[in-house]
Amino acid sequence: MRLGVLFSGGKDSTLALHLAAEKEEVVCLITVVSKNPESYMFHTPNIDVTALQAEALGLPLVSVITEGQKEGELADLERAITEAKSRFQIDGVVTGAVESVYQASRVQRICNRLDVWCFNPLWKHDQIALLETFVEKKFKVIISGIFAYPLDEKWLGKQIDAQVIARLVELQGQYGISPSGEGGEIETTVLDAPMFKQKIEVLESAIEAKDNCGVFQIKQARLVPK
């Protein structure tokens, strides 16, 4: 089966890509670039890095821009999947959805209309186990957005490792946050993964943060040998 992966460059869509590629043929990545930093549907921090990630993976990227209006985003997503189906003859679409019924149900409806399968390989997986998978499989995942108390700018740019996971689990117990960010608490960017033929090196970055909201913005990056 030929698959396109809804790809944000974050940890969940990257892991979903890897799991899908173990069983089927992944032929393209599909990215929706939202102009709205508070997008209802899509990851936004460092979304432009997906072009570099696609190059590192050796996969073509179907990228469309959306203004980020609630229902308009869905129309633009449908346009992106339609383009992927036309250009790469995909039979199915893979998502990194774990808990979000809002996202998963809307992608499913679009896939139904376009007569393609919808796969959610991470759906309802244990969030802590997923975080541990990134460490075990040697993904390099950095925290590129924080959007909840008590997270602060010291978290931005941190690589997810065993120590970071342990602290997130503590915060889950103390404050009820989702350790993998399923409540929108954190966003991530993947700089290396097992399928990457090259890894991403960040050359220039900036942190923009206030109180418990902020982003780690990658201003310049390049591919380097692994």
Query: Do 181 and 218 belong to one domain?
Result: yes
Residue 208 clears pLDDT 80, i.e. is over it: yes
Among 119, 145, 171, the domain boundary falls at: 119
Answer whether 64's CB lies under 8 Å from 33's CB: yes
Query: Do 134 and 95 belong to one domain?
Result: no
- Domain carrying residue 175: 127-224
Residue 42 clears pLDDT 70, i.e. is over it: no
- How does residue 104 score in pLDDT terms, banded at 50, 70 and 90? confident
**What mean pLDDT do residues 206-223 have?**
96
SS3 54: helix
Residue 67 clears pLDDT 90, i.e. is over it: no
**What mean pLDDT do residues 88-95 have?**
98
- How does residue 121 score in pLDDT terms, banded at 50, 70 and 90? very high
In 3D space, the residue among 57, 19, 15, 49 whose CA is nearest the CA of residue 31 turns out to be: 49
Give the separation between CA 73 and CA 187, rounded to whole angstroms.
19
- Strand 199-210 relative to strand 213-224: parallel, antiparallel, unpaired? antiparallel
Among 87, 119, 151, the domain boundary falls at: 119
- How does residue 13 score in pLDDT terms, banded at 50, 70 and 90? very high
SS3 66: strand
- How does residue 41 score in pLDDT terms, banded at 50, 70 and 90? low
Query: Do 36 and 132 belong to one domain?
Result: no
Query: Do 94 and 162 belong to one domain?
Result: no
224: β partners: 199
- How does residue 99 score in pLDDT terms, banded at 50, 70 and 90? confident
Q: What is the mean pLDDT of the chain?
A: 94
pLDDT of residue 45: 83
Give the separation between CA 48 and CA 82, rounded to whole angstroms.
21
Name residue 94's amino acid.
Answer: V
* Domain total in the chain: 2
The token pair at 145 is 């957005």
Residue 71 clears pLDDT 90, i.e. is over it: no
Answer whether 9's CB lies under 8 Å from 47's CB: yes
- How does residue 216 score in pLDDT terms, banded at 50, 70 and 90? very high
Query: Do 156 and 113 belong to one domain?
Result: no
Residue 183 clears pLDDT 70, i.e. is over it: yes
Name residue 109's amino acid.
Answer: R
Angle at 40 between CA 35 and CA 45, to 5 degrees: 50
> What is the domain-level CATH number for residue 57?
3.40.50.620
**What mean pLDDT do residues 131-157 have?**
97
- Measuring CA to CA, how many Å separate 70 from each of 27, 34, 148? 29, 11, 22
The token pair at 124 is 């309802």
